[in-house]
Amino acid sequence: MAKFKPTFRAAPVRVRVPATSANLGPGFDALGLALTLYDDVVVRIAESGLVVDIAGEGAEDLRRDRRNLVVKAIRATFAVLGGQPRGLEVVCANRIPQARGLGSSAAAVVAGVFAARAVVVGGTDRLDDVALLRLATQLEGHPDNVAACLHGGLTVAWQDGAGPQHVVLDVSPALTPVAFVPSTRGSTTKARRMLPEMVPHGDAALVAGRAALLVEAMARRPDLLLPATEDRLHQSYRSPAMPRSSKLVEKLRAAGIPAVISGAGPTVLALTIEAQAAAAADLAGTTFAVHHLEVDREGARTVPLDG
């Protein structure tokens, strides 16, 4: 059987990918929520070479060569689809803050794999959504952010013998997420090293119950979000690395506003209803950049070049 050789589209492809917040308190390494803050990536097949242009978040820091994460994801996808083009042009318009716990690396990976599939004729037939999640998870290392980024909404992701899996859950239309983004950066790797190998049985039991409650609170009972977002599994252990963020979480929760560390931090995410959003912003003061967001329900998609 002859090896498949990809045919590349002549026209450029533009994809849009949402920011994501993982964990949401007790849903550690499982829950992910897509948010209406986006990176756009345009990919065009060129005659030769590699050109990477970046505007917005990370423009001064991100690499512009084959080690760029979007480029690595594109190349990995082309390899799965049968071969590399002679040249590549990648233009990134980044709005998701880098290294803040809003899924910037997952967005880069998803943008790369999604765009690469779209620029190959018949790419979706050869690399379906299940395979795309598997590839994105391999590149990112875990499925919680990439599942939400790919599919939108609230997702539960896990891995078993068949690889990464996910389901998309209902989200109440009353939910109004507010993200508080500090100027300082975080590191997922460093944050994970701060976690203990074991936690008390009572804490584990409480978190299991809160994670189950969180599914219902997110879908139909936002009035239960404060108890449903209680966590004893990871946030307290990481608080020394982000004291200002941890204090803001405590301050918001003391005021009755459901707040968590977004992903590995240091961004704080308040899962408010509309009546709480303004009060939450007032409590944060001027130390954090405040983003009033909505739940993105589409996930990764192609958009018109002139949109």
Q: Rounded to the nearest 5°, which phi and psi values hold at 137? A: -65, -40
Measured CA distances, 72 to 57, 110, 113, 165, 254 (Å): 19, 11, 9, 23, 44
Q: Is residue 2 part of a domain?
A: no
Backbone angles phi, psi at 205, to 5 degrees: -65, -40
| 307 within domain boundaries | no
pLDDT of residue 224: 97
- Residue owning tokens 């084959």: 66
The verdict on residue 150 lying in a domain is: yes
Residue 65 burial (CB < 10 Å; 0-12/13-18/19+)? exposed
Q: Please give the structure tokens belonging to residue 193.
A: 């090293």
If asked whether residues 140 and 206 sit together in one domain, one would say: no
Asked if 146 and 187 sit in the same domain, the reply is: no
- The structural domain count of the chain equals 2
Q: Which residue shows structure tokens 């998609």? A: 301
Residue pair 165/159 in contact by the 8 Å Cβ criterion: yes
Other CB atoms within 10 A of residue 67 CB: 10
Residue 28 lies in a domain: yes
pLDDT score at 3: 64
Q: How is residue 139 annotated by DSSP?
A: H
* CA pair distance 253, 243, nearest whole angstrom: 15
DSSP state of 239: G
Cα→Cα distances 224→80, 150, 272, Å: 44, 28, 11
CB neighbours of residue 125 within 10 Å: 9
If asked whether residues 111 and 128 sit together in one domain, one would say yes
**CA distances, 12 to each of 30, 91, 192, 256, 291 (Å):** 34, 10, 38, 48, 31
User: Among 178, 179, 181, 168, which Cα is nearest to 273's?
Assistant: 178
Does one domain contain both 196 and 103?
no
Query: Tell me: the pLDDT tens digits for 279-307?
Result: 999 998 888 999 999 999 999 999 998 86
As to burial, measured by CB atoms within 10 angstroms (0-12 exposed, 13-18 middle, 19+ buried), residue 162 is exposed
- Give the CATH number, domain containing residue 259: 3.30.70.890
- The position carrying tokens 């977002």 is 229
Q: Helix, strand or coil for residue 121?
A: coil
Handedness of CA 261, 262, 266, 272 (dihedral sign): negative
Residues 152 and 180 both lie in one domain: no
User: 187-210 pLDDT, tens per residue?
Assistant: 878 888 988 899 999 999 999 999
In DSSP terms, 82 is beta-bridged to: none
Asked if 256 and 279 touch (Cβ cutoff 8 Å), the reply is no
Could you tell me if 18 and 143 lie in one domain? Answer: yes
Look at the block and give the residue holding tokens 């690396």.
105
- For residue 259, what are the β-bridge partners? 270
In this structure, is residue 4 part of a structural domain?
no
Which letter, b or e, does each residue of 38-62 get, where b requires 16 or more Cβ atoms within 10 Å of its Cβ?
bbbbbbbbeeeebebebeebbeeeb
Domain that holds residue 99: 13-169+296-302
Question: Is residue 257 situated within a structural domain?
Answer: yes
| Same structural domain, 208 and 121 | no
Which amino acid, 174?
A
Say whether both 33 and 160 belong to one domain: yes
- Ranges of residues in the chain whose predicted pLDDT is under 50: 1-2
Residue 5 within a domain:
no
Residues 131 and 277 grouped into a single domain = no
User: Residue 1: what pLDDT?
Assistant: 35
Cis amide linkage into residue 266, ω under 30° from 0: yes
CB 113 within 8 A of CB 106: no
